[in-house]
Amino acid sequence: MKNKKIITIDGPSASGKGLLAKELAKQLNFILLDSGLLYRAYSYCFEKAHNHSEAMELFSQLKIDGVTGAMAVYEKENNITQLLRHENIAKAASKLSSLKETRNNLISFQRSLASSHGLIADGRDMGTVVFPDAATKIFLIADVEVRAQRRFLELQNNDQGVNMRDLIEDIRLRDEADRAREISPLVPALDSIEVNSSLLTPHEVLNKVLEIYKERIKEI
Ligand code: C5P
């Protein structure tokens, strides 16, 4: 039985998943799961801990707020969400995310967010592994140059100086690692619909996905 209340959005880095997920959550009043942020938060904990059980202990002490429409992570009273958006954390998360221990540690928390309220799940393996029963599965792609340009602007807004050529290379390497890993690789679910956002505005992507969602829930 397919779950009408879950929309999964998977795809490579900077394909526009985050913005799409946020807008969908707002429009449909669903909860938002930014699974990449969880992998980043786990990596942040792992750096302090050096082994998985200690990392998990630290991770469970973080406060993760997803109900506000944009997921936020707090360490004690400090909002560390922006800190987790740094490229060095992304690199560490990319490495750690290929390990079975990391993925096992995060899966139940991700699944616990599914409820009658509805969930938009953004990541790499949302439709294939975490929520295989989701009724609507989107695989969002875009050309690597377009994605690098988007990430460039995002990082500049976050006061991080980056070089465009390095950024394209980093994105390529991270995508390759996500696609090639043995556990939960970045692949489209068989029942997903591919959307290419290279030539679309965020608004057009949102409308397209809302149409797909309406069709999908009608079919069930
Ligand atoms: O999406 P974001 O760039 O924040 O994700 C950071 C890293 O976490 C990715 O490079 C990817 O390796 C990993 N990740 C993952 N599975 C997910 C979400 C993110 O492996 N569902």
Cα-to-centroid distance, 220 and ligand 1 (Å): 30
Cα-to-centroid distance, 104 and ligand 1 (Å): 14
Cα-to-centroid distance, 218 and ligand 1 (Å): 31
- Each residue's pLDDT, cut to its tens digit, for the chain (220 residues) gives 899 999 999 999 999 999 999 999 999 999 999 999 999 999 999 999 979 999 999 999 999 987 657 899 999 999 999 999 998 999 999 999 999 999 999 999 999 999 899 999 999 999 999 999 999 999 999 999 999 999 888 888 777 777 899 889 989 999 999 999 999 999 999 999 999 999 999 999 999 999 999 999 998 7
Atom of ligand 1 nearest to the CA of 178: 12
With contact defined as beta carbons under 8 Å apart, do 3 and 51 qualify?
no
Cα-to-centroid distance, 39 and ligand 1 (Å): 6
Atom 5 of ligand 1: nearest residue by CA position: 36
What is residue 87's predicted lDDT score, i.e. its pLDDT?
A: 85
What is residue 143's predicted lDDT score, i.e. its pLDDT?
A: 95
Atom of ligand 1 nearest to the CA of 18: 1
Cα-to-centroid distance, 169 and ligand 1 (Å): 17
What is residue 67's predicted lDDT score, i.e. its pLDDT?
A: 63
Residues 6+ apart with CB under 8 A from 181: 97, 98
With contact defined as beta carbons under 8 Å apart, do 174 and 13 qualify?
yes
Residues with CB under 6 A from ligand 1: 13, 35-37, 39-40, 90, 93-94, 97, 123-125, 174, 178
- Identify the helix (H) or strand (E) that includes residue 202: helix 202-219
- Identify the helix (H) or strand (E) that includes residue 122: strand 119-123
